[in-house]
Amino acid sequence: MAQLFFKYGAMNSGKTIEILKVAYNYEEQNKPVAIMTSGLDDRDEIGIVSSRIGLRREGIAIFEETNVFETIKALENAPACVLIDESQFLTKEHVLQLAHIVDELDIPVMAFGLKNDFKNELFEGSEYLLLYADKIEEMKTICWYCHKKATMNMRMIDGKPVYSGEQIQIGGNESYFPVCRKHYFNPLLKGDL
């Protein structure tokens, strides 16, 4: 029985490498997968799922106007699983389409993404995945400053944390640190490490 999974974690928790690993495992058994990612993420190329350790795969870009259900339904070979990277950037409508893929096409969907933004507020996609997912799993990583579990994402500009601004600013280690609650509110600035 297919299910909708939401696997979330702070920056650097291994979400993308997990997608690539799951895809490999399916394909090793001759089971095709559909890999999708947000069209907003242009750090590498649009539509490319790319991990920090250098592994990358081509995927299908999801834009605001994309009907994810119809995209999957129209594929020549039905996938054994749909894998979504950067799922925090999905809309409520996209999340409902993922639920329809599970319920109507009987295809499992695994969505990976951040839960909360740098202001510690939910992203739209994450909010609705938390509401509609059959299974929710936290992927863990450690705080940039200590050995506690990182649960928040700190946006950095010129080596200093910022707590206001636009919710979406695409970036990696140059812009965001995974941090625990203590260091989110009391960050160690440059030179304090």
Query: Any idea which residues carry the catalytic annotation?
Result: 86
Name 121's Cβ contacts closer than 8 Å, sequence gap at least 6.
167
Residue the block writes with tokens 């490319």:
48
Pairwise CA distance, residues 12 & 15, whole Å: 8
Alpha-carbon distances of 56 from 7, 53, 102, 110, rounded to whole Å: 19, 9, 26, 18
Residue 61, both tokens: 């870009």
Mind giving me the DSSP string for 1-21? ---EEEEE-STTSSHHHHHHH
Q: Supply φ then ψ for residue 147, to 5 degrees.
A: -105, 10
Pairwise CA distance, residues 82 & 88, whole Å: 16
H helices of the chain, in order, are 15-28, 68-73, 92-105, 124-132, 181-185
